Structure 1
Amino acid sequence: MTSSRAPVVFAGTPEFAAASLKALIDNGCNVVAVYTQPDRPARRGQKLQASAVKQLALTHDIPVEQPENFRSPESIETLRAYKPTLMVVAAYGLLLPQLVLDIPKHGCVNIHASLLPRWRGAAPLQRAIEAGDRTSGVTLMQMEAGLDTGPMLATIQYDLAKTETADSLHDRLATLGAELLVENLPMLLTGEARPVVQENAQATYAHKLTKQEARIDWTRSATVIERKIRALHPSPMAWCCDGDERIRVLGAEIIGEGGLGSLTIPAGAQPGTVIGFNGHAIIVLCREKSLLGLTKIQLAGAKPVSAKDFMNSQKPFLREGTVLETPAADAA
């Protein structure tokens, strides 16, 4: 438990950030205000939905601020009135101008879901999995005007599982980020942290995800496609087309030697060809005769099902000999 009553402002929006806010509250931190994104329409009804951080703050009677940005003098003065010793930021979703960064006595610190300087930017979890990284982690960083360029205050490493999805990695790093924050909170509140400058030459950028990149390009190798499927789970979710039918791919595995069973690859088959079903997975030919087995899929408007249940359903999709479309713009 922290005994300091130094005023702290917290800024964050999704569940990843809520884990750190909860850790601050549970450890007796004097959170005087919470900043989060304005309520947004959500789900089919498009009703306004409060962020996970806002919901948590309200249950603990913490004042909530939701500015669209920090361009107005009023938004700056509101923050200044809280007289924060420190501002903790986690997946807030707004860029903080230098004027804001200068308000807290000991500045603003960010909980970033990567081992900086690798994967600066919007989608570090997904890009780490997509790239086949063996390790990830969380960096506690002193914020500056550049995008995730500030000096590092502390890090914690996590070894990725071979079946890691963005969903599972999110949950693990949210927990580790909260632990790292609480562990280092005393020195953050006293300004005793020792920052380490990032090596800019080693930086990589985690560009924002797009729905179009989620479409599977069968001219890529099975290894590349399998990683992308895990990286895009649960959103925006990898997908492919069988004719006019759009099919989400929720689970897949690389098929090695012996995985075909009695199936054979037809002579001259092109990437995207469905080789058949081996009793466990629907096998699709990829680049250089590599094979990917689809283990869990979802048709539009239907529930996710295993490959076995799908094949038993007699749906006229993903049948042996079918050639799944490859987006021309992405072909290699």
Structure 2
Amino acid sequence: MKKLRTIFMGTPDFAVPCLDMLVREGYPVAAVVTQPDRPKGRGQKLAYSPVKEAALHYNLPILQPDNIKNDEFYNQIAAIQPDIIIVIAFGQLLPQRLLGLPLHGCINVHASLLPKYRGSAPIHWAIINGEPMSGITTMYMDVGMDTGDMIIKAETPILPLDTTGSLHDKLQDLGAAVLADTLQQIAAGNAPRVRQNDVEATYAPLLCRSTERLDWHQPAVAIHNLVRGLNPWPGAYCKYQNKSLKIWQTRVYNESTPCAQPGQVVQLTKEGLVVETGKGIIELLEVQPESKRRMKANDFVCGYSLTTGNMLE
């Protein structure tokens, strides 16, 4: 079966396994489109995106437009005459004229079971909201935010100890496998096209600073899920002695214990400290004081002389 002439559009490491698959399976990748190099780190040196790093490794042509809506970029893509454009976490919405350019359209690999969790942070929000299941959906793109007709969906369970980091890694590999099946079905002319039910749609917006702040009046389970959902980036935090304290790992100690003072340290354990919440109590296992490294919570207890009765804000 003839391999489709492909343009690949993506930016973060989540997209890289799909590009790896295309090269491994012999798809003619005519160009890789990724975001411009950005300043990074303390020195603010320009850094390549993970997708650009992969494209350089494979010696693929690279385009890095500031604006994909201008005529210059459109003409570059039109000259390539792609059979299909594959888009994975690229970072810009595609205009209609670009969506209509390839023979087989533009295909997106999205890290949720659509129509749930449309938007920019589906992995984070699935864990924050305590979902038992996540997955990958491939779809034909339209001008909306993840609203196009679905092609293939594949599920994977969210395990009790999963974080955004661990689920991200599972989904990026699953995404490559689902994309491979999708392309085979499109090339064979038998790919399904299933309209999304907008009534069932939910959204996964970009994270903001207010999302990261722990509210000890929330139930222990909700706090635990927030910590998992913000690990490894950007991290949930509270305040201790007017300084930021990031919380990286927790364990629900009890889901239903009545609590008189949310945020109060009520017990010190071998592994950390136990804190009251709005419903139940939670054990902190790994934390990061302001301007310090990540550490086991029991080291934090010793280093900062915490005792029962201390308050986390």
**TM-score class, shorter:** over 0.9
Matched, 1:270 2:261: yes
Residue 284 in structure 1 maps to residue 275 in structure 2: yes
Shift of 1:5: 4.1
CA distance in 2, matches of 1:171, 1:86: 26
Alignment partner, residue 293 of structure 1: 283
Q: Shift of the alpha carbon at 1:308?
A: 2.1
In structure 1, the residue corresponding to 2:107 is in which secondary structure? strand
Which of 47, 56, 59 is matched with 1:58 structurally? 56
Contact 2:55 2:62 in 1 (8 A): yes
Deviates more, 1:229-238 or 1:189-198: 189-198
How far apart are the structure 1 equivalents of 2:290 and 2:102? 49
Looking at structure 1, the residues matched to 94 and 178 of structure 2 have their Cα atoms a distance apart, in angstroms, of 22
In 1, Cα distance between the equivalents of 2:144 and 2:182? 23
CA RMSD of aligned residues (A): 1.7
Identify which of 13, 35, 45 aligns with 1:15. Answer: 13
What's the secondary structure of 1:121's corresponding residue?
Answer: coil
Structure 2 residue aligned with 1:321:
309
CA distance in 2, matches of 1:46, 1:157: 39
Shift of 1:34: 0.4
Distance 2:200 2:262 in 1: 35
Quote the Cα distance in structure 2 between the aligned partners of 1:322 and 1:40: 42
Matches within 5 A, 1:111-126: 111-126=109-124
Contact 1:4 1:30 in 2 (8 A): no
Deviations along 1:109-156, one digit per CA (max 9) or x if unpaired, are: 000000000100111001111111111000011100111010100011
Could you tell me how far apart the structure 1 residues matched to 2:203 and 2:83 are? 31
Distance 1:191 1:54, change over 3 A: farther
Deviation >4 Å, runs of 4+? none
Q: Secondary structure, in 3 states, of the residue corresponding to 1:185? A: helix
Task: Output the TM-score relative to the length of structure 1.
Answer: 0.90
Contact 1:86 1:189 in 2 (8 A): no
| 1:20-169 to 2 correspondences below 5 Å | 20-169=18-167
Unmatched 5+ stretches in structure 1: 326-332
| Deviation at residue 309 of structure 1 after TM alignment | 2.3
> Does structure 1 conserve the Cα–Cα contact (< 8 Å) formed by 2:269 and 2:298?
no
Determine if contact 2:3/2:187 at 8 Å carries over to the other structure: no
Q: Does 1:305 align with 2:303?
A: no
More off after superposition, 10-19 vs 278-287: 278-287
Cα distance in 1 for partners of 2:33, 2:190 equals: 25
Query: Aligned-pair distance for 1:158?
Result: 0.2
Residue in structure 2 matching 1:224, options 222, 225, 231: 222
Q: Distance in 1 between matches of 2:187 and 2:63?
A: 22
C-alpha displacement of 1:57 = 0.5
1:229-254 Cα deviation digits (max 9, x unpaired): 00001111001101222111010010
Counterpart AA for 2:76? T
Amino acid at match of 2:177: E
Q: Matches of 2:62 and 2:148 in 1, distance apart? A: 27
Letter in 1 for 2:308: E
- Rounded to whole Å, the distance in 2 between the matches of 1:233 and 1:188 is 36
State the alpha-carbon separation in 2 of the partners of residues 275 and 91 from structure 1.
43
The AA in structure 1 aligned to 2:271 is H
What's the secondary structure of 2:153's corresponding residue? strand
Partner secondary structure for residue 215 of structure 2: coil
Q: Which amino acid aligns with 1:284?
A: V
CA distance in 2, matches of 1:62, 1:80: 18
Preserved CA contact (<8 Å) 1:86 1:188 = no
| Distance in 2 (alpha carbons) for counterparts of 1:186 and 1:287 | 51
AA aligned to 1:102 is G
Q: Deviations over 1:13-72 (max 9, x none)?
A: 001001111111111111110011111111222111100000100111111111122221
1: distance between equivalents of 2:53 and 2:208? 28
SS at match of 2:221: helix
Does the 8 Å CA contact 2:245/2:288 hold for their aligned counterparts? yes
> In structure 2, what is the Cα distance between the partners aligned to 1:216 and 1:127?
15
Q: Matched residues in 1 for 2:199 and 2:260: separation?
A: 43
SS at match of 2:147: coil
Q: Percent identity?
A: 38
Given that 1:85 and 1:189 are in contact with CA atoms closer than 8 Å, whether structure 2 keeps it comes out as no
Unpaired segments of 5 or more residues in structure 2?
none
